[in-house]
Structure 1
């Protein structure tokens, strides 16, 4: 089982070094609180974390223990096998081949068994092979966050309803981070999509020649799992994890309750209430409605955490400005001018330095790479392109802006409110860029989504990895890399560079250290020249557990600190 194998061992190994609840001794059942509130600055936009909307709004930080996968993101950002759902192993063959076997006992909360149909749906959605005519040519049918890895798969062998699937990659491809595929939040219930699309099963629809059937499946996959407070048809939201959705409303939050059909170890606490971004966290704390807080450091003005054990830590997410490659930033010269006036060192000093950051590695200084993390062995060797952007150079910025031919440029920076730290970030940038003649406008709003960058409503997004407003990032960095690949669902700035795309493909297939160093160096040089984004610092997170909470382990990653919420115990 997952708990006896992966999570319990992880907690034991990490509790000494990660933030954990102060209470570690046993207690009587009368002392235990039956419901724990989890305040996290993810946005509850969709159940489907595999869509661009889901990945960029933070679904992974909420539904990791609701929609399970063969792997999940652990608290250090690593991929950990979830053997409660099933097993995945690489098997010998001419082409890379992975054998997936679902647990015979695995069943959705609506009573329908999990099956390889779920894998086929995930592959079809992410493969990029199913398209439709668009304004400028073919566009994907499925609004997938990324095709990374999935587009390398040649086929998924699956008999409808079976517990076994064989995934075979193309003969010319080898995907090293294959454990990021079919992971928590990406395996959606195929039987629900089939029912909504009026097809017998997804496997038959995908393998058949009926584009209408696939189109109906894609339409539901894209929009059928969107979340609106008070408007949920629970029949469409079955769970494959220890918790399931009971209700969602603005007043009562997202209520998760123990899944009666869960075949693994029973959750320690029968009810978790998720309070998403936009909720008055301080008031919820005052009301004793919160036991776990996981928010951006400094994002909540005057946050008081009396009665909690709190820590400010750098996360795996990269705080950055993702720039449009059209509109005012259609000129690389103007992107360069903007980067030359953004005070990256000052921003780190004023708003990006986590109190509990290490002296070296992750969070120890401004982030000087787009796709290489600060604790990577390659980091120091690939960051030369960042040197001229350490501190503002007004003269160089004016010269670059003049070369762009744009007079009196205005840059609208969007981000999701409320967020005091990001509001301050925009203010600092505006003040620094004013002498260079660049007018910076704060375009933050409670309704903001990164898609506004694609639509031209803003010129830059201030957010974490893949423009997420809350928890983001992982050790493998797939989202960071793929968010700059042409056509990727997370590439909100519509950046396109064929050489970068080629490098990305090579990096996913070659684990030779010398080759990786060469490729990563070239990738960073390309990105610092094109500037589709401006890295600032490792996004700092404030993570706090009530002093009466046991088994809380900070997760400053895309999975958030709710990665093991089924082990939480709160006593008062």
Structure 2
């Protein structure tokens, strides 16, 4: 899941436009060609986005941002390769890039085979070495770390890679079996894994990571990985300096503040690579001439224009400065869009805005203070000012697991205790505080009008109960989120709309998306990854949903509506409510004129 504002071993993401999402959505599977050979070829499509680029690896806690993930979707480092999610939330296999199949149920065994024509954008072949590294990055196989139950920090042992999606499920695999031709790997699971079909072993290029670790080749890195023992928390082995160097590069080496002079950082396995970036203005992605997969684009370039303001996005679309926009939906935005000649696409997003309390904060160590603060949150007022003008049928979101359109939502709401916060209760909050006047620092995105409005409404309401609300908002909120130097945060989650890997990511100690240091004191979230029975899985998810309200985790606010604006120059764009947004079918785009 991505911070919205997502490899498909999808991470959720936090983003400035919207934000977890349908954690419990299931997905069907389809196969088929993704090519559109009859479409016009060439040209550039320019897309307005809210957030700027911060990292070329969106699969780390600090890089888990919507724009980073969308760039990663185009360059193959996130959400594309062996499969992708379509607009019906089905898993689609890209058999032209490579095939994967379950060869056994007991034990669960899955084989991945690359197309021998696959190459990285620097011309180097894509091999099983790359998949072994991708598996190592996502499985936690070599970790021997014991984490602090409150902060998630390592107390002893070693944690090598830090995937935002966590390791639950993939941590049940043994070292991969590699084929003699170095094009296939086979994974065996010790326990069933509900989302096995969403795991994608492709990530960063092994030959680049090996180079940064001081090794001569990808084969040398694979040899190192094969020779190292599985991590043992009870008897941690000494840290391996070469693997640590490789992991440190993957964890932080792709975080950037300017277009990298080191071209190794932009090597891509996907249809595009990042060919330029002017921070605060635009990101340019150019076609990877070596790409052999099924998501072959018709256009030569895709340009991201960073435009945080929704009205400015509409103006840019009207003026022909951009071709596609995905602004925050509001009544004003829709009215302005409908006044243009652009095609308007609308629908729900598998995303929601939420308020999280930081369990690492001293002020919220007291459960009564948490409950008192949550009693002051004017959720209906926030909904009415932001969402109702766009969707009159919208309602307050009362689950951390399901969205209102999902079949299990109502039953969970009836048992999860969310009714405690159904209305603002200032007197109840005062009684819990017993005269105390706690200071609460709230982090949010000051460039996001919705978050500014949410903060203002919360500040005014909480003050009536005696809280002193400090504005800790920042345009750099996404980089501040993992640090925990705040008491509460306002942001959004947006998910792929398929699978359940988001649950342990958010609700386990040390989870890659557990920014608020929540400690559920059990492994229910991890159990969801190995529970195949649908009824039992729903029961576990209901337990988590109930625990979040009982523990004062925070409050979900509302599901976000979505809107795209597409000018007549571009064909092929379709609405998508997940974290890939309008980019989900980029290979189907074409332009009627290639003048740009």
Q: Verify the 8 A CA contact 2:354 2:492 in the aligned structure 1.
A: yes
How do 1:68-467 and structure 2 match up within 5 A? 68-92=80-104, 94-128=106-140, 129-130=142-143, 136-138=155-157, 140-145=159-164, 146-158=166-178, 162-170=182-190, 173-182=191-200, 187-199=203-215, 200-201=217-218, 202-209=221-228, 211-250=240-279, 253-264=282-293, 266-276=296-306, 278=308, 281=313, 284-285=316-317, 288-298=320-330, 304-305=336-337, 306-327=340-361, 328-353=363-388, 355=390, 364-384=394-414, 385-402=417-434, 407-449=436-478, 452-465=480-493
Q: Would you say 1:526 and 2:544 are equivalent positions? A: no
Task: State the Cα distance separating 1:548 from its structure 2 match.
Answer: 2.8
Q: What per-residue deviation string (whole Å, max 9, x for no partner) do you get for residues 354-396 of structure 1?
A: 7358x5xxxx422111122323221111113111212111122
Q: Verify the 8 A CA contact 2:62 2:482 in the aligned structure 1.
A: no
Task: State the Cα distance separating 1:512 from its structure 2 match.
Answer: 2.6
Q: Verify the 8 A CA contact 1:472 1:558 in the aligned structure 2.
A: yes
Secondary structure in 1 matching 2:354: strand
The answer to which of 304-313 and 58-67 deviates more is 304-313
1:493–1:456 distance in 2 versus 1, CA, 3 Å: same
- Paired position in structure 2 for 1:12: none
Secondary structure in 2 matching 1:188: coil
1:514–1:498 distance in 2 versus 1, CA, 3 Å: same
Q: Verify the 8 A CA contact 1:72 1:82 in the aligned structure 2.
A: yes
1:3–1:517 distance in 2 versus 1, CA, 3 Å: closer
Tell me, in whole angstroms, the C-alpha distance in 2 between the residues paired with 1:408 and 1:520: 35
Tell me, in whole angstroms, the C-alpha distance in 1 between the residues paired with 2:372 and 2:185: 51
Task: State the Cα distance separating 1:215 from its structure 2 match.
Answer: 0.5
Tell me, in whole angstroms, the C-alpha distance in 2 between the residues paired with 1:536 and 1:561: 24
Q: What per-residue deviation string (whole Å, max 9, x for no partner) do you get for residues 399-444 of structure 1?
A: 2334xxx931122221223111110111111122221112333322
- Paired position in structure 2 for 1:23: none
Q: Verify the 8 A CA contact 1:52 1:144 in the aligned structure 2.
A: yes
1:238–1:456 distance in 2 versus 1, CA, 3 Å: closer
Tell me, in whole angstroms, the C-alpha distance in 2 between the residues paired with 1:187 and 1:212: 22
Task: State the Cα distance separating 1:98 from its structure 2 match.
Answer: 0.8
Secondary structure in 2 matching 1:436: coil
1:497–1:480 distance in 2 versus 1, CA, 3 Å: closer
Tell me, in whole angstroms, the C-alpha distance in 2 between the residues paired with 1:204 and 1:354: 59
Q: Could you tell me which runs of 5 or more consecutive residues in structure 1 were left unpaired when the two chains were aligned.
A: 10-25, 466-470
Task: State the Cα distance separating 1:447 from its structure 2 match.
Answer: 1.4
Secondary structure in 1 matching 2:250: helix
Q: What per-residue deviation string (whole Å, max 9, x for no partner) do you get for residues 195-248 of structure 1?
A: 111124331222234811111110110122223333342233212122122111
1:483–1:308 distance in 2 versus 1, CA, 3 Å: same
Tell me, in whole angstroms, the C-alpha distance in 2 between the residues paired with 1:221 and 1:47: 10
Instruction: Give the root-mean-square deviation of aligned CA atoms.
Output: 3.0
Q: Verify the 8 A CA contact 1:296 1:542 in the aligned structure 2.
A: yes
Q: Verify the 8 A CA contact 1:42 1:62 in the aligned structure 2.
A: no
